[in-house]
Each structure stands twice: as C-alpha cells, then as structure tokens.
Amino acid sequence: MRVDEIKQIVKDEIIQKKEEGYDVADVEEKILKTEIKTESELKEFFNALEKCPLRSDFPYKEPSDLQEIVSERPRKIEKISMALSDEDLFDKIYGGWLGRCAGCLLGKPVEGLNREQIEIWLKIANAYPLDDYFPPIRDLPEEAPKWLRNRLSYIDNMLKKTGVGVLRGQINCMARDDDIDYTIVNLHILENYGPSFTTMNVGEVWLHLLPYMQVYTAERAAYRNLVNGLEPPEVATYMNPYREWIGAQIRADTWGYVAPGNPELAAELAYRDASLSHVKNGIYGEMFVSAMISAAFATSNIEEIIETGLSVIPKKSRLTEAIRDVLKWSKEYDDWRDAWSKISEKYGHYHFVHTINNAAIVAMGLLYGRGNYEKSISISVMGGWDTDCNGATTGSIMGIILGAKSLPDKWIKPLNNNVKSFVIGYNDSKISDLAKRTSRIAKNFLEK
C-alpha cells in the first residue's frame, strides 16, 4: 500500500468514526502529531480507533447484524398483493433495466459536479432546466470555467478513444458504468448460486468477474481484503473507511427486480450483498432501495414506495432521519430547489459519494418528479453529487412503475438495447436479454 494511500485512509477513517458517533478526539490529536507511513502503523491506528467510545449524546441506533436490523424496524413488513401477467412482469422489469440505464447515462457526464456547476453547464448550453441528455458545447465562451473545459475535453477524448458517447447526439449504447456492472453481477449470482447465495458467494463472483481497477472505495477495500484471505464480516471493516458510502446502494436493483411485491425478501437479498463491503447506513441504503423497487411493482404512489423502503431499515438511523426530512420538506416547498437547499444544509457535509446525502437526492427526485420519468431523473441529476448513481436509482424505480412500453423514446432509443460492461463475459449484452433472464428468476420467486 502506497504512503499517499495510507495517509488518505487515515484521514477518511477519522471522518468515518466521527460520523458513526465515536469520540475520537484523543486519537485524532495523537495522529496529528504522528506521520503514519507503513501498513503496520496504520493497523495500530485502526486498533486505537476501535477502542474509542460511542458518544453518550449520539441519538441513533444503527446495527449491522440482520436480526438486530429487523428488531429496529418501525413496523412489520407484509407482502404487497398484486396481479401481474407474465407480459406485465417482463414489461416492468425491462422498464427497470432501461430506466436505470438511461438515468445513469444522464448523470454520467456530470458525476461529482455540484448543483451550481451543473446549472452553469446547462445555462451556457441554453438547456436549463434539464430535459434531455447533456448537450455538447462546441464553442465555449471565453468566460467559461476551466473545470467545464476540462470535463468536456475529457468526454471528447473518451469518445474518440472508445467510440462510446455520453452526450446528446453522441449516444449509441449504454456506456460502461459500475452502476450497471453490479446489476449484471447480481443477476449472475442469482443464476449461478440461486436464492440461497451467501455473502461469500458474492465475494467469489467479484474476484472471478470484476477487474480490481474497476471497483472503487468500499468495494476496492473489500476486494483487497478478499484477496488477502479475510472473510465476512471483517471483509467490510478492515481498513475500509468507505463502509457507509454509496457503493452498496448502487447494487440494490436486481434484488428488487426479482422480488416483486415482497420488500422483505428484496431487503434480505440486499443485506447479503451489502454486508460484504458495508456496515450500518451503507447496508441500509441497499436495503432501502431494493425494497422501494419491490414496492414499485405494486403501486405508483411515491410516498408509499418510500415508506416501504423505510420499513426495512432501523427507524433510529441517520438514513431514516434524512429521508423523513425530505418527505417533510417536499410538503413545505413547491420547488425542488428549496428542498435541495435544506438537504445541502443538513447533509451536505457528507462525502459526495456517501449513502445518506445521495439517498436524500433520490427521494427528492422521486417526490418532485410526481410520477413523470423525465422530471424524476432530471431533478435527481440536477441535484449534483453522485449524479450517475442517483439518476440510475431514480430511473430504475420509475421504470418499474411505468414499464418499458411507457418510457419516452427520447431517453430509451439512443441506448440501442446495448450495454457495455467490464463484467467478464457480459460486454455488449442486450438489455432486453438481461431483462428476460431477470424476469425468469422473478417469476420463480412469485410462484413460491
């Protein structure tokens, strides 16, 4: 492990422990006086942090064990009654896949940018508010910011290098993205291990099918730990300060797709996946999204879908608090930008790829989109932060609600039913084929 990587882990672990409610002041002060350069020194530092006490005023209860999570839920979860023909089931699942791909692709060019930067891009292009894929800008005005020039140059270079575009008029498929890679990986897990797969099975598939340099933050830490022979739950915690970031939340969709109207099952499958690399709110994010997707098969009521998502996670968690805040603000403010300001004020301190702030943006996009696919994904992406993830999750839920046949051609046709992927054996997959395979599994779950 490089010295610069060690230093970053030190910095991120201090932040993570503080967010989890631990009093790290004494250890932090000592660390500031010590330059950590080796892995052994880093391990000593982690051991010292493990002994830090939980603050007495920390108001949240956030377990990582499934049974403890179940005991902290706000209510008992029931299956949602529904009647779907095989054709309707496929249409919704295909809609989920397409909606996820289009939403992800919408956010891909602006990943990591903030709301203000996104508005600058769109206003220079005379395309604000967003109602289509991001436009290329051929003749930038002299006053255009350097970051925009750099971002457009990078995108243009990638187009020339790969032939795969992410801007309006340049799109000919779903560009490779880890958000979609994990949806594919989890389909592979179900097809090869069945519904009783274990957390370690997930790790085995990662090692066989995912290139190490194409996984990030918590997933890269977990991958490294797997290679070094660790097993769950230590895989998720050892030298992994990213264990509550968004990586698990973006892996939620397949579990919801195969459990229509059964949010408890969707959440349990999500838990087995998430706990490989995440703890606490990192796990809850995946369970929350998978349950929302499951509910979206049975109802188009956005508040009901969000409440179902909240029903599978601890009622006294930071994630629950954030989503409840968004539900409240959506009733107080007519304009999503006002709700966004409240989200940014209270939750903007989290890293731009953290679970909590980005889940809040997804909820905002769903609530202010009011059942309209285009508005939902556009608002989620205009909110900034992890835009490709938020567009993908919002698009997935809306795709399930509406079904493939009702998704606007403007968003779907440019995909050409083709997805690029770094998952070994899955590049250039047909999106419809992935949906058919997912539907077969979902049908088996429904028949049990």
Provide mean pLDDT across the span 228-239: 96
* Closest by CA position to 296, among listed 311, 306, 310, 284: 306
Q: Are 119 and 396 in contact (CB under 8 A)?
A: no
Residue 430 has what DSSP assignment?
E
Could you tell me if residue 128 is inside a domain?
no
Tell me the pLDDT of the chain averaged across its residues.
96
pLDDT in tens, 101-115: 999 999 999 999 999
105 in the same domain as 79: yes
Could you tell me if residue 281 is inside a domain?
yes
Residue 30's pLDDT is 84
Q: Is the pLDDT of residue 235 over 80?
A: yes
Could you tell me if residue 129 is inside a domain?
no
pLDDT in tens, 257-308: 999 999 999 999 999 999 999 999 999 999 999 999 999 999 999 999 999 9
pLDDT in tens, 179-218: 999 999 999 999 999 999 999 999 999 999 999 999 999 9
Determine the straight-line distance between the first and last CA of the chain, rounded to whole angstroms: 48
Q: Is the pLDDT of residue 329 over 90?
A: yes
Could you tell me if residue 132 is inside a domain?
no
181 in the same domain as 43: no
Question: How far is 383 from 363, CA to CA, in rounded Å?
Answer: 11
Residue 269's pLDDT is 98
440 SS3 class: helix
- CATH number, position 218: 1.10.4080.10
> CA neighbours within 13 Å on the CB side: how many for 183?
35
Residue that wins the pLDDT comparison between 215 and 38? 215
41 in the same domain as 81: no
103 in the same domain as 9: no
Residue 322's pLDDT is 99
| pTM (two decimals) | 0.97
Could you tell me if residue 387 is inside a domain?
yes
Q: Is the pLDDT of residue 416 over 90?
A: yes
The type of residue at 339 is A
Residue 46's pLDDT is 83
Q: Is the pLDDT of residue 3 over 80?
A: no
Provide mean pLDDT across the span 75-90: 95
Site of tokens 């997930």: 202
77 in the same domain as 104: yes
Output the six-digit token pair for 221.
Answer: 């830490």
Could you tell me if residue 136 is inside a domain?
no
Site of tokens 């109602």: 131
289 in the same domain as 240: yes
Q: Is the pLDDT of residue 10 over 80?
A: yes
Residue 419 has what DSSP assignment?
E
Residue 14's pLDDT is 94
List, as one string, the DSSP characters of 271-307.
Answer: HHHHTTT--HHHHHHHHHHHHHHHHHTT---HHHHHH
Q: How many domains, the chain?
A: 2
Could you tell me if residue 143 is inside a domain?
no
- Report residue 22: phi and psi, to 5°: -90, 145
Share of the chain above pLDDT 90, in %: 91
Residue 182 has what DSSP assignment?
H
Residue 4's pLDDT is 78
Angle between helices 199-209 and 263-274 (to 10 degrees): 60
The type of residue at 267 is A
Residue 204: domain span: 66-109+175-447
331 in the same domain as 255: yes
Could you tell me if residue 61 is inside a domain?
no
Would you call the peptide bond into 145 cis, given omega within 30 degrees of 0 as the criterion? no
